[in-house]
Structure 1
Amino acid sequence: MQPHPSLDTSAHWAFGQEIEVLPRIFDDDITLAVMQRRLDSALALAVRAQLNGSRSLDWHWRGAPGQAMKEDLERRLPAPEAGAALVEDVSHIAEAMAYLFSTEAIGIRLRTLEGAMCPRFHVDNLAVRLVTTYAGPASEWLPEHAVNRAGLGAPHPDKPDIVADPDAIRQLAVGDLALLKGCGWIGNEERGLVHRSPQPAAGERRLLLALDPG
């Protein structure tokens, strides 16, 4: 059995149940900071309502979090009459992201997925991204000791496998707020967190939120 991520003394990650864990992403040795949480009943019901319809969701926003953002999201939801808790949660996360990174503009995407968006392990070229999965399998990631970075990038027959230890693959939980440090973070150019989108089961849909500061 894998040790709990927060119990590994050599960890380049930080897990906790309070929002104070998220600023750990500014630590030089941390490439993943996760606030563990469970969706409350109202939020879970709002999420389920959006997934029960036939229409998919692919909402984008770039700008300040606020009333205009909330109204735009509500208009785009498949079931807006049941979406208040989801709109409020996205708003709170966006406001926290803007505060944490001292920016007025946030890039946000909320979308339903029936397949793996990025099925191959990879690193992001941006500085940092926050992801949370509201439904379906959450993102998978690799501790540094289990990564062969020579395998990253476009697939090629001569490249080695990215995963040096398949037993070390770890997975976030539904509801977790995860900050992933990428290669665009100054001083982290060779240490971006290696992660991937999982493949949902047949007939299963994911609801994924991703936020980029600035």
Structure 2
Amino acid sequence: MADDGFQLIIGNKNTSSWSLRPWLAFKQAGIPFKEVRINLRAPDMKVQILAHSPAGKVPVLWVGDLMIWDSLAILEFLADRYPEKALWPEPLAARAVARAASAEMHSGFQPLREHCPMKFLSKEPRSELPEAVDDNIRRVVGLWKDCRSRFGADGPFLFSRFSIADAMYAPVASRLRTYVTDLGAFGDDGTAAAYIDALFALPAMEEWAQGAREEMAAR
């Protein structure tokens, strides 16, 4: 594997939830990388993406001549490549739960994704959501509460310090800020709201938001 540095291909910052995940992990871990942004609304968007990956989706990570074309695979690669960054929690039980929570996010919550697409800069509160979305939100709120109560006593994140699990759920936090006015209606005792605040207090999240603002202004 030739290592010529990291090149991360991402989509629009206001809407590309999968792009946010590895981008945020890179920033939080302090790993330098080159960002290549593709406008997913461009007429030749597909051609642009295919120039970087035959899978035809973003994000994509290039490390020299190695291509990694899935968000969770990118995050796992970073964890393997930089074990000193502790991108997974250190204790075995916490690491197992963090992996399970991340895998659930990777493969689940389809109603939430379908009906509440990420609009990072928007506030679009909805008084009513489909029942399946309500169920997804209750599951997220309960999962976050469980992780925080079991493993989050020493910091503001799901497993105390920032981890891959937080990168995986950052776009969900954005969706809840956009569409949900009262998390208490979904069983939140304040834990989920505080966790969302902690994520959005990260300088990297503000940097992402600024990038989204610049994109929107250029439209």
TM-score w.r.t. the length of structure 1 is 0.26
Highest RCO, 1 vs 2 (Cα 8 Å, sep ≥ 6): 1
Higher fraction of helix? 2
TM-score w.r.t. the length of structure 2 is 0.25
